[in-house]
């Protein structure tokens, strides 16, 4: 079989910060046109790995390459071809959003106004606001627009949805799926299983700086049943929905104080479920995310069953 050169390659990366902290012998490869999820809880080593890929830090041992170029010392070459979204976007004070975006465009020597306007519109961002008055979510959206505005072929995104509100998270996830369809190569870190599951072809799991497993997303079958938490406008509505009966869904739990109902829905019965909900004013609606913790629990169970899939294999 023909060996494809990966766009991003991390080989036996070690960064030892002492006291068991850091990244220990992580190897991943991201190939052209794929969306690769780098999944792990807080402190797992995701940002450390990504900073090495961008060439900001020197490995204790091992290596990271982008386009076959050793990362360390070549950040400028990498940044010229990669859209990078840092975990904690630092936006210089004293600029407004537009000033920041212009600065980034000038650094790259490229302006694509059409693309920029599309992104501002998609993420509903007003770039004229002063950066110091922006919320964390707005700053992140600004950094997202900056990372995507010159339409780079490769995207490296460190926890891109953190700080975004639930609707914007969904917008972003759909956007990533579209970008992938347009042929982009994407590395995305996250601690949220469901967003990685929704966007990525391949997923690596990291925990305590160590690589736990790499697997193809298509091998992970989400259950037939999805769980949602719906917040209603009034307690009466919540109660009425809670008491309602349907083949499509089953109400599980009601929190009267918060006007929230937890409901299990068969994935092939979404439409009937949404039809039923359309009779109520809904305040909030979210899928209860399948957490990494759930995954670990299932992964380490003796049977190694994962929502009906047995034996998620560790790739050696």
Ligand X SMILES: Nc1ncnc2c1ncn2[C@@H]1O[C@H](COP(=O)(O)OP(=O)(O)O)[C@@H](O)[C@H]1O
8 A C-beta contact, residue 157 and residue 186: yes
Binding segment (CB under 6 A) for ligand X, from list 41-49, 58-66, 162-170, 237-245: 41-49
Angle at which helix 136-148 crosses helix 166-181, to 10 degrees, equals 10
Among 8, 9, 36, 47, binds ligand X (CB under 6 A): 47
Report the residue number, 85 or 312, with the smaller CB distance to Mg ion. 85
Report the residue number, 149 or 155, with the smaller CB distance to ligand X. 155
Among 11, 14, 16, 21, binds ligand X (CB under 6 A): 21
8 A C-beta contact, residue 260 and residue 280: no
Structure tokens at 286: 């979210």
Binding of ligand X at residue 40 (CB under 6 A)? yes
SS3 state at 181: helix
Q: What is the closest distance, in whole angstroms, from the C-beta atom of residue 128 to ligand X in the complex?
A: 32
Q: What is the closest distance, in whole angstroms, from the C-beta atom of residue 124 to ligand X in the complex?
A: 27
Q: What is the closest distance, in whole angstroms, from the C-beta atom of residue 308 to Mg ion in the complex?
A: 31
Report the residue number, 43 or 166, with the smaller CB distance to ligand X. 43
Q: What is the closest distance, in whole angstroms, from the C-beta atom of residue 55 to ligand X in the complex?
A: 15
Report the residue number, 48 or 71, with the smaller CB distance to ligand X. 48
Binding of ligand X at residue 43 (CB under 6 A)? yes
Which spans in the chain are helix H? 46-53, 75-81, 97-108, 113-122, 136-148, 166-181, 193-199, 235-243, 270-277, 292-300
Task: Give phi and psi for 262, each to the nearest 5.
Answer: -95, 130
């Amino acid at each position: 079989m023909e060996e494809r050169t990966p766009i991003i390659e991390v080989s036996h990366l070690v960064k030892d910060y002492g006291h068991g902290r850091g990244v220990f012998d992580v190897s991943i490869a991201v190939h052209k046109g794929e969306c690769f999820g780098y999944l792990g809880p807080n402190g797992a080593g995701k940002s450390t790995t990504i900073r090495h890929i961008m060439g900001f830090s020197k490995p204790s041992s091992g290596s990271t390459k982008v386009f076959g170029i050793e990362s360390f010392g070549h950040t400028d070459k990498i940044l010229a071809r990669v859209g990078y979204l840092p975990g904690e976007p630092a936006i210089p004070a004293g600029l407004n959003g537009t000033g920041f975006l212009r600065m980034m465009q000038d650094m790259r020597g490229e302006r694509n106004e059409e693309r920029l306007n599309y992104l501002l519109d998609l993420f509903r961002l007003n770039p004229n606001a002063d950066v110091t008055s922006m919320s964390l979510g707005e700053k992140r959206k600004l950094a997202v627009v900056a990372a995507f505005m010159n339409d780079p072929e490769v995207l490296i995104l460190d926890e891109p949805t953190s700080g975004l509100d639930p609707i914007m998270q969904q917008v972003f996830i759909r956007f990533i799926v579209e970008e992938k369809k347009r042929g982009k190569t994407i590395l995305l870190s996250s601690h949220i299983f469901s967003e990685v599951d929704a966007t990525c072809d391949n997923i690596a799991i990291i925990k305590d700086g160590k690589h736990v497993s790499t697997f193809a997303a298509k091998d992970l079958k989400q259950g037939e049943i999805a769980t949602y938490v719906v917040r209603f406008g009034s307690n009466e509505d919540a109660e009425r929905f809670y008491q309602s009966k349907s083949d499509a869904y089953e109400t599980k739990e009601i929190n009267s104080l918060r006007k929230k109902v937890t409901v299990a829905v068969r994935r092939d019965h979404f439409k009937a479920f949404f039809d039923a909900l359309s009779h109520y004013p809904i305040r909030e609606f979210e899928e209860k995310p399948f957490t990494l913790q759930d995954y670990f629990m299932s992964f380490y169970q003796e049977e190694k069953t994962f929502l009906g899939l047995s034996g998620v294999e560790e790739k050696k």
